[in-house]
Amino acid sequence: MDIKLEQLTGHEKKSRVGKINISVGESVSVGQTLLQLESKKGNSPFNSKYKCVINEILVEEGQEIELGQCLFKVTAENAGKEKPKLDYFGGMIYGKKEQLQADLLIIGAGPGGDVSAIYAAKRGIKTVIVEKLSMGGTCLNVGCIPTKALIKSSEVFHNIMKAEDFGITVKDIQLDMAKVIDKKDEIKNTLVSGIDYLLSKNNVRIIRGSASFVNDKQVLVKNGKDEYTIEATDTIIATGSKIANINLPGIDHNFVLNSTSALKHKENISSITIIGGGVIGMEFAFIYSNFGIQVNVIEFCDRLLTMVDAEVSAEIKEIAMDRGIGVYTGAKVTRIEKDQSGKAIVIFEMDNAEKFITSEKVLVAIGRTPNIDDLEIEKAGIALNEKGKGISVNEYLQTSAEHIYAIGDVTNRIQLAHVASHEGIAAVDHILGTPSHVDYGMVPNVIFTSPEIASVGLTEEQAVLKNMDISISKFPFQANGKALTMREEKGFIKLIKDLSSGKIVGASIIGPEASALISTLTIMMNSNITEEEIIHTIFAHPTTGEAIHEAVLGFSIGALHFDE
């Protein structure tokens, strides 16, 4: 039989043979490395899928090879031996069963799980990871990355529509949502294959299937008829979250989307009503608005994005309304109906009156819940938190079963991909006996609206609740040269200083490149860099980063390039 090159990382069609690890006549086992593949993205092992004997090696070290090319001729060890028909059909009916042992088992291959696995493997831990869907979890497949791909497409479309502002005349602009979705999928698929590649390169065993605990030492993984029983010294649960179910009459209409189905929706639409003015709702609001679609947002709370500083919330509301986005806060959606033409009618209560909005589609963007339904954690003695929503963990991410850890959304603490990744590293460090702590007070948060919003540390409201004596400095992007050249002069940087300690304890940004600028402020605050050190740091010109320098100056002599 032939062993061929069937898959390469990303969209690559060719690779190069590195070191060949076996010789003619050698018996090899399933999973044994036959040779190394070299590509632009690095080296990766090419492993055998069969227990076989190598008859002929058809390639040489350094040779360029392509997809579909035959690399080895082999004889399967059991080839030619007669098998009872009962065994054959028994295998088809009952599937295969395999028992595995590992130092570390990770359940879930999202941003928490895959980072944990790669980090652990690099630290010498024999690691197995289980994933029932696609590598990368919610973030990579139906969350962070796909939405950012749509945001970029929408911003390109919006900028073309506003080309006159840059002295450019463009005619006949067409939106093809199907192609937008296809481009998004290309990016997603490249990154998913990249995760596969990195896990394999670091010798992490990947098991596909759905995991459930047998006891606190064993996990059963089922994939169709195949079953794997895995016994591990330590386990990390990184199963993430799923879209929360809500009891809303009419939510089952075929024109109602959620954040997952919206990422697959290839039809051009003219209008959409978004239920929920949180992160997901507002990111989609600007995506659709940038594409020229009429958008209305209905939010139950009295303001949008309640997790951000109140001034930032007010600013994004004003910007949204200037863009033509309808915003209804303090509003309770009671039901969704269909009119005679098949359009959606969203009925809601606001200001003691019943109101309604008609649109082509509805997007429900209200919350996520920890993904624990099928884990059978009770068999492992794992406790939930006080509210019963999420797995309870201590400061080292240990559950009530101390050799089992939980990270990311499944703990229902901070639902951010980068928090899950950092928690994964902290959990592995604790397993290795070098415990580290996650500083949850210094977690940067980014919301990809137009313009972007980012924050780290305390908001003004949080500082006031802590009875802190504070000073506030703001610098508007309308006074920043780079922002003006980008035609993105709305927004500001807001810094909060604790007067008792002299430290900057909070930063909020709404404006161009906020997602990049927040890292500078996070490092600044996390490293306790002083005002004087920042003031005497040279910031490149012209950049949006200069707004940070100006905002810090605001605590002393005042900004140099803005005077209220």
CATH of residue 543: 3.30.390.30
Is 376 a member of any domain? yes
Mean pLDDT estimate for the chain: 94
261 and 233 within one domain: no
Please indicate if the annotation marks 511 as binding a ligand: no
What average pLDDT does this structure show over 295-321? 99
> Which of 72-76, 141-145, 483-487, 509-513 has the lowest average pLDDT?
72-76
Judged against a pLDDT cut of 50, whether residue 75 lies above it is answered with yes
Pair of tokens at residue 39: 């590509």
Instruction: Decide which of 411, 440, 469 is a domain's last residue.
Output: 440
What's the sign of the alpha-carbon dihedral 479, 485, 490, 495?
negative
Question: 547 and 456, same structural domain?
Answer: yes
Residue 124 annotated in ligand binding: no
554 closest CA partner among 539, 564, 545, 544: 564
| 541 classed as catalytic | yes
Looking at the fold, whether 34 and 111 belong to one and the same domain comes out as no
Q: For residue 311, with 0-12 CB atoms within 10 Å meaning exposed, 13-18 middle and 19 or more buried, which class applies?
A: middle
Spatial distance between the Cα atoms of 446 and 288, rounded to a whole number of angstroms: 19
| pLDDT digits 0-9 by tens, 190-204 | 999 999 999 999 999
User: Is 214 part of any domain?
Assistant: yes
Q: Considering the entire predicted model, what is its pTM?
A: 0.86
Asked if 521 and 548 touch (Cβ cutoff 8 Å), the reply is yes
Domain count across the chain: 4
Q: 506 labelled as ligand-binding?
A: no
Q: Is 241 annotated as a binding residue?
A: yes
* Range with top average pLDDT, 3-12, 20-29, 279-288: 279-288
As a whole number of angstroms, the distance between CA 269 and CA 311 comes to: 32
Instruction: For 142-189, write each residue's pLDDT tens digit.
Output: 999 999 999 999 999 999 999 999 999 999 999 999 999 999 999 999
Flag whether 280 is marked binding: yes
What CATH number has the domain bearing residue 65? 2.40.50.100
Check whether residue 126 and residue 236 sit in a common domain.
Answer: yes
Is 10 annotated as belonging to a binding site?
no
Question: Which of 477, 493, 475 minimizes the C-alpha distance to 485?
Answer: 477
Identity at 516, one-letter amino acid code? A
Mean pLDDT of 243-265: 97
Answer yes or no: do 58 and 169 share one domain.
no
> Which CATH number is 143's domain given?
3.50.50.60
Q: How far apart are CA 512 and CA 517, in angstroms?
A: 9
pLDDT tier at 549, thresholds 50, 70, 90: very high
Q: Do the domain assignments include residue 90?
A: no
Q: Kindly state whether residues 233 and 124 are assigned to the same domain.
A: yes
Residue 530 lies in a domain: yes
Domain that holds residue 47: 2-79
Average pLDDT of 13-19?
86
Among 388, 415, 440, the domain boundary falls at 440
Which of 440, 465, 481 represents a domain boundary (last residue)? 440
Same domain, 435 and 461: no
Instruction: Give the DSSP per-residue string, 270-285.
Output: SEEEEE--SHHHHHHH
Sign of the CA dihedral 358, 363, 368, 371?
Answer: positive
- 492 and 402 share one domain: no
Residue 81 has pLDDT above 80, yes or no: no
Has residue 381 been placed in a domain?
Answer: yes
Does residue 433 sit in the same domain as residue 378? Answer: yes
State which H helix or E strand residue 359 sits in: strand 353-359
pLDDT digits (tens, 9 = 90+) for 341-361: 999 999 999 999 999 999 999
pLDDT digit string, tens, across residues 84-104? 444 555 555 667 899 999 999
Is 299 annotated to bind ligand? yes
pLDDT, tens only, 379-431: 999 999 988 789 999 999 999 999 999 999 999 999 999 999 999 999 999 99
Assess whether 355 and 469 both reside in one domain.
no
Co-location of 133 and 232 in the same domain: yes
CA distance 43 to 19: 10
Q: Residue 376, annotated ligand binder?
A: no
* pLDDT classification of 522: cutoffs 50, 70, 90: very high
- Of 18-32, 152-166, 482-496, the range with the lowest mean pLDDT is 18-32
Residue 86 belongs to a domain:
no
In a domain, 445, yes or no: no
Contact 345, 337 (CB under 8 A): yes
Catalytic choice (158, 253, 541, 549): 541
48 in any annotated domain: yes
Looking at the structure, do residues 394 and 495 belong to the same domain, yes or no?
no
